[in-house]
Structure 1
């Protein structure tokens, strides 16, 4: 009997140790599985973490209206030279606009007064006159817009901000100012605006 009890006790101990061993393996397996799931979650979140760290390239946004325009870096002599260029161009455009307006007004008055010498005879002549009148009105509108930009450039000279791009607040190149002294934007920002207009 003592030998049987000892055998049963040994069997129970062996069974307990076997269960403990299985339990230990189970816990190890669960622990390994936990590590595996953590590894998957880390790998899944890795692209997002990289995307958060990587900078995104953006084009230069336009400055807000509240941002003050920097002072011009041009010298007083350069500003005086551009002022003279603007005033000369302004006088030239004013003379051209006045001449075109007088011609258009004179033709309209002669037609309304019934002056037969000024009226076209053929239908083709009528179409040509209408086209010329529309073309002249378009030129007048364009020249008046340029006159407005010239006046704004003169104001910027007085304010000390002439030659600074209104879109990026960067200096406008002297080559561009020499060709177009009333320019409001640098050539890079001007091209960006044109591309946005075409894409829109």
Structure 2
């Protein structure tokens, strides 16, 4: 893994190791999910999935259902890709010796939060503040 904790509030490489391992496993799962979603959304229509090779839908509602399912899959794919970006950023922070330090205030992110969301770049206080600002 790279250098030792160089940023105030960051975990040392040894402290970050369990999170590094967790992030690698999570990354592999998300990559698999995105591959599956992409294949499903872009390559297969209702007819192909049921074995019907005819491109003509039986009913107009089928067209709407197919479009909805494809749009839903593409939305899920976008969310998974955003998560993948966050995971990669967290892995980069580990390598840089900055993992565990809130990118907003620099305080140490509690391990309980990192166990729940290992790719989070911000502490609970900054997350709460951000959520309150977005609501009001």
What TM-score does the superposition give when structure 1 sets the normalisation length? 0.58
Q: In the alignment, is residue 160 of structure 1 matched against residue 97 of structure 2?
A: yes
The number of equivalent residue pairs is: 126
Larger Rg: 1
Please give the per-residue CA displacement for 1:20-69, whole angstroms capped at 9, x wherever unaligned.
xxxxxxxxxxxxxxxxxxxxxxxxxxxxxxxxxxxxxxxxxxxxxxxx95
Alignment match, 2:123: 186
Aligned Cα root-mean-square deviation (Å): 2.1
Give the structure with the larger helix fraction.
Answer: 1
Q: Distance in 2 between matches of 1:150 and 1:161?
A: 14
Q: In the alignment, is residue 144 of structure 1 matched against residue 81 of structure 2?
A: yes
* SS of residue in 1 equivalent to 2:107: coil
* SS of residue in 1 equivalent to 2:44: helix
Alignment match, 1:70: 8
Q: Distance in 2 between matches of 1:133 and 1:104?
A: 5
Q: Distance in 2 between matches of 1:184 and 1:165?
A: 6
Unaligned runs of 5+ in 2: 1-5
* SS of residue in 2 equivalent to 1:160: coil
8 A contact 1:71–1:160 mirrored in 2: no
Q: Distance in 2 between matches of 1:119 and 1:189?
A: 52
Instruction: Report 1 or 2 for greater relative contact order, CA contacts < 8 Å, sequence distance ≥ 6.
Output: 2
* SS of residue in 2 equivalent to 1:164: coil
Regions of 4+ moved over 3 Å: none
